[in-house]
Structure 1
């Protein structure tokens, strides 16, 4: 992709993100009187500029995605005015290209032999290896028992985000989708901001927005969050409900790749996972 096109995509993302963050901050949040009734929610551009100590024209151009220079100090002031958390501030700096970010390596497509051995060693704990875009690269038998439809999918289409948002209810075991969906999309945007301008990422987002109204709605919120452990609950017809703690472990030798391990949070869930694994149809499938 041409550098100009990549920069244009970054500026468009920056404009959308700033507007969405400004709209969620009320005058009362920053110690200002509410004033007369407002046509749109949140702060006005001139209020953000005033509180950040920058010119109205400069901030307007920044929010419009125009190619202007922005220092780390000024962006920090904007981030404080908009009450951005750590992940959102990092996201803002990436979008504004401050400091200059290094070129992002291509997404890994396969797992090394050592990582496959580690995955098998974690069994019976379900575990998989995924890249930043959530393409599933490898897994163990415990994971295959939980997600047989994912591991049976052709490698080019094997993606856990796609499955979560497009799988029909009868094969999607995620029980607390209302909790997991917003969190998953916010973390996905955190990773997406590190791949701005990448046509494969853009195509994936466009296709998933078209395939899932829920994803499209959550993507439009511009919410961003860092990866963190979270509780995930599943329901399987064979054994019932299973509660787990999903932990993401970054793989230093493969940038962007992480190992996701599902640990049962109680004895009942541990027993049910063991029964599910014992009954699993998938046995000895490919490891990516």
Structure 2
């Protein structure tokens, strides 16, 4: 029986104690302590980590020993800084010490695009594809998306067009049930995750001020997380006003977690959709 099994940690993987000891013993941390005070070949002592974190040695030791406590975000962030943890390591620290992930950064809603992500969008042709930021501002499109939705490449906002523009109610088939209600539910979900985000606050305010029907649907209190996998219908000028069905593929790039990437996979002609679900 190894130490982790004795400590009852085997079922949960590595213990926080093991990770903290490994992190503070890394040679790269030697530079955090003046050369005159360096007495070991590598890493930091518990006392040094505590000092760099702004807490007592006793407080830090209790964490490394695995003793339960109400560790604050300020303490965990200070510890992550002292140990020079990467963003992923900081995430694990929170999960192990507090049982929750760290709060997501609030910042603005300006999206990030690069050449590789744009190439991905372009490679989805002939299917339309776009990338949007946290507040649904469209930050990248491919050529088919611009053909289908000529307004989209001009850094438009998906939700403002879909929920407030009169033509959207005709072009998005079954606008109320298949588009407006799920979209508003997604906005509510993301607003709950980013309550201080200025772009999301402004989006919610504009939508509720701009339409009585949107206000009525918002009052239903529905919550949706995403549209990945759903089938929806469109009636666009690009298709001569004929109805087409699309399967929505939505994803989040690992490098740009504040972005959404959406591909509209056109379904075969004659495809039947009822209540937003595909029938084979």
Q: Which interval holds the TM-score relative to the shorter structure?
A: 0.5 to 0.7
Match for residue 282 of structure 1?
none
Structure 2 equivalent of residue 143 of structure 1: 145
Task: Name the counterpart of 2:127.
Answer: 125
Equivalent residue runs for 1:28-47 within 5 Å: none
Q: Determine if the alignment matches structure 1 residue 110 to structure 2 residue 108.
A: no
C-alpha distance 109-172 of structure 1, shift in aligned 2 (>3 A): farther
| Matched residue, 1:177 | 175
Q: Is the 2:111–2:134 Cα contact (8 Å) retained in structure 1?
A: no
Moved over 3 A (4+): 98-101
> Structure 2 CA distance, aligned partners of 1:233 and 1:128?
18
User: How far apart are 1:214 and its partner, in Å?
Assistant: 2.3
Higher relative contact order (CA 8 A, sep 6+): 1
Match of 1:253 among 238, 244, 255: 255
Name the TM-score, length of structure 2 as normaliser.
0.55
Query: 2:168 and 2:102 mapped to 1: Cα distance?
Result: 43
Q: 1:235 is matched with which residue? A: 235
Answer yes or no: is 1:211 the counterpart of 2:213.
no
Give a deviation string over 1:71-100, Cα, whole Å, max 9, x none.
xxxxxxxxxxxxxxxxxxxxxxxxxxx957
**Structure-2 change in CA distance of 1:119 and 1:100 (3 Å):** closer
Contact 1:248 1:259 in 2 (8 A): yes
CA distance in 1, matches of 2:205, 2:241: 36
Aligned length: 170
For residues 214 and 150 of structure 1, what CA distance do their matches in structure 2 show? 24
Matched residue, 2:223: 224
Contact 1:245 1:262 in 2 (8 A): yes
Hey, what's the Cα distance between the residues in 1 that align with 2:220 and 2:207?
A: 15
Partners in 2 of 1:103 and 1:262 — Cα distance?
A: 28
The separation in 2 between residues aligned to 1:220 and 1:185, in whole angstroms, is 10
Unaligned runs of 5+ in 2: 1-98, 272-280
The answer as to 2:162 corresponding to 1:160 is no
The match for 1:197 is 196
SS of equivalent residue, structure 2 residue 180? helix
Instruction: Provide the alpha-carbon RMSD of the alignment.
Output: 2.5
For structure 1, the 5+ residue unaligned runs are: 1-97, 270-288
1:244 pairs with 2:243: no
